[in-house]
């Protein structure tokens, strides 16, 4: 902690490779002193002034070597990304030049930054909390516009404000309980446990909605998993290839070609999808096939939605009924495809028991546009397109939220029925764990786990 507050760090903030511009960040108490040693401005403007841009040269003080002509932008503490004195050096984008400028900065008082250290300093200096930190991490890795919008919405701070407000309400109840327990002889107003129980239930209901939004946010951020199910040779792999726009899965007339799960990413509208082609569902014929079918069931368990593919050119058999039973058992939203519409149809409508069918020919590509639209409808009907409501949590934050919910559920169940000291213990745990969600009571080890996912320079 002390090192992070007293030394000055530097790192390249742009990815490797040739580009028009490279960016180097220098942050810390000595940032401007280092720049005064290595940067010579060509103008008359005093260096450094807050939020100003200066054109000049990076010069090695030892040799007088001019490394590059650059633009330096200054941000004076606390009005910077990190909350410290911060300078951004815009160089030409050749990595030889960028590396040379960074080496000069490091030789003149800066230390090479660790992964995520600029954002870590922003957190430690109160520029953002852990929920906003998680949003930055997700924004950097976003693979679709929906993922980027979700992260940007969280940067507005509304989830942080919600957690802080809930935590404050619980803390008020905890303070009252502890005062009543520790100072019973003083004139402290008696706690009405019926009012307490009612308020705790309201808080729990709000927190449960928040947790559901966090689960949905995690699904959107990771890419919504959609699993293709069907008996062998029903056309799952052909459907996958059509949706991807390329031949990813092997397609033959031999049943059981897919023996393992195949997973590929695509975008439907603004939504990131992880499409999973699975081994055909049937009674396994050998040990390898049995492993593939077990992985199919694992894919079903992890999926957001299912697409069941049936061969319309054949009569239904036990394997088709197994697929239908898997759909019902899963409890997941699903779409039913009657495939091979280009062939004579033998599969009776009665087999689907009134379920809506999407008639397609994966070979010809007909009907699959409707499949994509129906999948988009499922996503939006489940509220996963309402980015303002969704929340992004890291693994440590999600675990802390689960613990807070469990403790609060115990408190709700015990209010008016258990000793007040036991109730105070549950409330204290809920308050502590919520503090770990937004960073108000976070430890150093947790911070290490959070920031190790960041790139150098962020």
Task: Reply yes or no on whether the pLDDT at 22 is more than 90.
Answer: yes
Task: Tell me the three-class secondary structure of 184-238, residue by residue.
Answer: CCCCCCCCCHHHHHHHHHHHHHHHHHHHHHHHHHHHHHHCEEEEEECCCCCCHHH
Asked if residue 263 belongs to a domain, the reply is: yes
Task: Answer yes or no: is 206 within a domain.
Answer: yes
User: Which of 127, 142, 162 lies at the terminal end of a domain, its last residue?
Assistant: 127
Query: Does 41 share its domain with 164?
Result: no
DSSP SS3 for 97: helix
Q: What angle do CA 336, 338, 342 make, to 5 degrees?
A: 155
Token pair 């019973």 in the structure block, residue: 184
- Mean pLDDT to the nearest integer, 348-364: 89
| E strands in 331-393 | 334-339, 357-359
What is residue 292's three-state secondary structure? helix
pLDDT confidence tier of residue 78, bands split at 50, 70 and 90? very high
216 & 300 share domain = yes
| 104 & 45 share domain | yes
Q: What is the pLDDT of residues 103-130, one digit of tens each?
A: 999 999 999 999 889 999 999 898 988 8
pLDDT digits (tens, 9 = 90+) for 208-254: 999 999 988 888 888 889 999 888 888 888 888 888 876 654 444 54
Structure-token pair, residue 367: 């009907």
Same domain, 155 and 207: yes
Give φ, ψ of 275 to 5 degrees.
Answer: -90, 130
Domain assignment present for residue 143? The answer is: yes
C-alpha–C-alpha distance, residues 356 and 336, integer Å:
7
Q: Average model confidence (pLDDT) for the chain?
A: 84
Residue 292 lies in a domain: yes
What is the rounded CA–CA span in Å between residue 391 and residue 375?
22
pLDDT band at 142 (very low <50, low <70, confident <90, very high): confident
Q: Is residue 188 part of a domain?
A: yes
| Final residue in a domain of this structure, among 81, 98, 127 | 127
* Separation of alpha carbons 227 and 304, rounded Å: 8
List the structure tokens of 212: 């559901």
Structural domain count, the chain: 2
Residues sharing a CB contact under 8 Å with residue 448, sequence separation 6 or more, in sequence order? none
Q: Identify whether residues 168 and 268 lie together within a single domain.
A: yes
What stretch of H or E contains 68? strand 66-75
Residue carrying the six token digits 């031949």: 247
Statement: residue 296 has pLDDT above 60: yes
Domain's final residue, options 92, 112, 127: 127
Are both 388 and 258 inside the same structural domain?
Answer: yes
What are the pLDDT digits (tens) for 253-262? 544 444 457 8
Q: The domain spanning residue 47 has which CATH number?
A: 3.30.1360.120
For the cut 50, the answer to whether the pLDDT of residue 325 exceeds it is yes
Closest CA to 303 of 333, 323, 264: 333
Residue 457's pLDDT is 67
* Per-residue pLDDT, 279: 74
Does residue 4 belong to any structural domain of this protein? no
β-pairing, 21-27 vs 86-92, is: antiparallel
Do 322 and 192 share a structural domain?
yes
* Mean pLDDT for the stretch of residues 84-109: 95
Q: Name 168's Cβ contacts closer than 8 Å, sequence gap at least 6.
A: none
Comparing CA positions, the residue from 148, 127, 145, 146 lying closest to residue 137 is: 148
Range of the domain at 228: 129-458
| Co-location of 383 and 362 in the same domain | yes
pLDDT at 445: 62
Q: Of all helices (H) and strands (E), which one includes residue 275?
A: strand 271-277
82 and 151 in a common domain: no
Q: Are residues 123 and 144 in the same domain?
A: no
Q: Are residues 185 and 333 in the same domain?
A: yes
The whole-number pLDDT of residue 368 equals 84
Confidence of residue 3 (pLDDT cuts 50, 70, 90): very low
CB 356 within 8 A of CB 336: yes
In three-state secondary structure terms, 9 is strand
Predicted confidence at residue 1, as pLDDT, reads: 37
- Summarised one tens digit per residue, pLDDT across range 359-379 is 999 888 888 889 889 999 998
CATH of the domain at 366: 3.40.50.300
Q: Dihedral of the CA atoms 139, 143, 145, 151 (nearest 10)? A: -20
C-alpha–C-alpha distance, residues 318 and 280, integer Å: 12
Q: Using CA atoms, how far apart are residues 278 and 292, in angstroms rounded to an integer?
A: 8
Per the rule left: phi > 0, alpha: psi between -120 and 50, beta: everything else, 164 is alpha
Cα–Cα distance measured from residue 330 to residue 325, given in angstroms and rounded to the nearest whole number: 9
Who's near 11: CB < 8 A, 6+ residues apart? 24, 25, 102, 112, 113, 117, 118, 456, 457
Q: How far apart are CA 284 and CA 327, in angstroms?
A: 19
* Rounded percentage of the chain residues whose pLDDT exceeds 70: 85
Q: What percent of the chain has pLDDT over 90?
A: 40
The DSSP annotation for 62-125 comes to: TT--EEEEEEEEEE-TTSSSSSS-EEEEEEES-HHHHHHHHHHHHHTT-EEPPBTHHHHHHHHT
Q: Which of 330, 328, 331, 324 is nearest to 308 (CA)?
A: 324
Please check whether residue 2 lies inside any domain of the structure.
Answer: no
pLDDT at res. 110? 95
CA distance 50 to 70: 18
30-44, 92-106, 153-167: least confidently modelled range: 153-167
- 87 with 51, same domain: the answer is yes
Please indicate, yes or no, if residue 166 is contained in any of the structural domains: yes
Judged against a pLDDT cut of 70, whether residue 458 lies above it is answered with no
* Cα separation, 394 vs 135, whole angstroms: 9
């Amino acid at each position: 902690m002390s090192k992070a507050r007293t030394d000055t760090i530097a790192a390249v903030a742009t990815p490797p490779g040739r580009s028009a511009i490279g960016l180097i960040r220098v942050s810390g108490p000595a940032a401007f002193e280092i720049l005064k040693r290595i940067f010579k401005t060509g103008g008359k403007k005093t260096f450094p002034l807050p939020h100003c841009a200066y054109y000049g040269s990076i010069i090695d003080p030892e040799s007088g070597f001019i490394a590059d002509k650059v633009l330096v932008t200054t941000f004076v503490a606390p009005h910077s990304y990190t909350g410290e004195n911060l300078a951004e050096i815009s160089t030409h984008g050749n990595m030889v030049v960028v590396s040379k400028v960074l080496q000069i900065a490091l030789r003149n008082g800066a230390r090479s930054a660790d992964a995520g250290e600029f954002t870590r300093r922003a957190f430690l200096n109160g520029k953002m909390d852990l929920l906003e930190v998680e949003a930055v991490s997700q924004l950097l890795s976003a693979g679709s516009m929906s993922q980027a919008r979700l992260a940007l919405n969280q940067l507005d701070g509304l989830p942080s404000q919600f957690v802080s407000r809930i935590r404050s309400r619980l803390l008020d109840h905890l303070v009252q309980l502890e005062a009543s327990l520790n100072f019973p002889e003083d004139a402290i107003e008696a706690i009405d446990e019926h009012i307490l129980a009612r308020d705790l239930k309201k808080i729990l209901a709000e927190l449960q909605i928040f947790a559901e939004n966090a689960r949905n946010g995690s699904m959107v951020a990771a890419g919504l998993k959609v699993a293709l199910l069907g008996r062998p040779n029903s056309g799952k792999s052909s459907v996958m290839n059509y949706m991807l726009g390329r031949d990813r899965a092997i397609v033959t007339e031999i049943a059981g070609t897919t023996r393992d799960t195949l997973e590929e990413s695509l975008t439907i509208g603004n939504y990131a999808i992880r499409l999973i082609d699975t081994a055909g569902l049937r009674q396994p014929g050998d040990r390898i096939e049995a492993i593939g079918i077990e992985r199919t069931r694992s894919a079903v368990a992890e999926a957001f939605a299912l697409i069941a593919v049936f061969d319309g050119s054949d009569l239904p058999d036990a394997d088709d009924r197994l697929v239908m039973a898997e759909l019902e058992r899963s409890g997941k939203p699903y779409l039913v495809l009657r495939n091979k519409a280009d062939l004579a149809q033998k599969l009776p409508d009665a087999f689907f028991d009134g379920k809506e069918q999407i008639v397609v020919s994966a070979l010809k590509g007909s009907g699959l546009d409707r499949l994509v639209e129906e999948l988009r409808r499922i996503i939006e009907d489940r509220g996963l397109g309402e980015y303002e409501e969704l929340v992004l949590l890291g693994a440590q934050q999600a675990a802390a939220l689960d613990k807070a919910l469990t403790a609060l559920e115990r408190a709700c169940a015990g209010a008016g029925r258990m000793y007040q000291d036991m109730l105070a213990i549950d409330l204290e745990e809920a308050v502590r764990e919520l503090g770990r969600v937004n960073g108000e009571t976070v430890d150093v080890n947790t911070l290490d786990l959070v920031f190790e996912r960041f790139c150098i320079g962020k």
